[in-house]
Amino acid sequence: MIIAIDGPAASGKGTLAKRIAAHFGFHVLDTGLLYRAVARDIERARFRLDDRWAALCAARNLNPATLDDAALRGVPAGDKASVIARIPEVRLALLHYQRDFARKPPGAVLDGRDIGTVVCPDADIKIYITATPEERARRRHLEHRARGEAATYESLLADIRSRDERDSSRAAAPLAEASDAIHLDTTAMDADAVFAAALKIISR
């Protein structure tokens, strides 16, 4: 079984994907980490993020074992990934890995922005999870405070709106809701309510 979870930045899709995978005993992949890792490797090789040759090389040589790198977390890494994700050659290079991952038995949960539309258009279950920009900024602000990191609500809201614009307007596999996806607005829901709603969707 393949479960595709798409949605904008800070919508909670990563948390939901992990809980669903744990519940069913499936594999889970946060595809955004792939692009964050490519950006990391480009910078470590001392190239510019918009260098297409360097980006393609990094994507083709990406080591999935490094996706648990703490450096891939946080707003700066996400912003860099958004830049990398606009490069069609990088998306194509990473597409094969994502599709191979999705076919792992007994099942896989993938979260990202184009899983249901591009990576796994034939996924058994497609969920598009979202929330208002203001609510997503509030959640992210709480996460930063819990980690003792300095970030204002206003700056996080501006970053989320900027990410939404970049992700939705890029030419290569833009953020979009698949026509056969189940829309799940989590603005007024906590993590447990979102998980329960997702399980109902899957059970149907």
In this model, does residue 25 exceed pLDDT 90?
A: yes
Task: Look up residue 189 and give its DSSP letter.
Answer: -
- 10 Å CB burial of residue 71 (0-12, 13-18, 19+) is middle
Read off the tokens for 20: 């669903």
Condensed to tens digits (0 to 9), the pLDDT of residues 61-79 reads 999 999 999 999 877 898 8
Domains of the chain: 2-203 (3.40.50.300)
pLDDT given for residue 103 in this prediction: 97
Q: What is the pLDDT of residue 150?
A: 81
Residues of the chain with pLDDT > 70: what percent?
A: 100
CB–CB of 159/75 below 8 Å?
A: yes
> Chain-wide mean pLDDT for the chain?
94
pLDDT, mean of residues 38-56:
95
**In percent, how much of the chain has pLDDT > 90?**
80
pLDDT single digits (tens) 135-183: 999 999 998 888 888 889 999 999 999 989 988 888 878 888 999 999 9
User: Bridge-partner residues for 30, per DSSP?
Assistant: 111
**Full-model pTM:** 0.91
- Residue 29 pLDDT greater than 80, yes or no: yes
User: Which of helix, strand or coil describes residue 107?
Assistant: coil
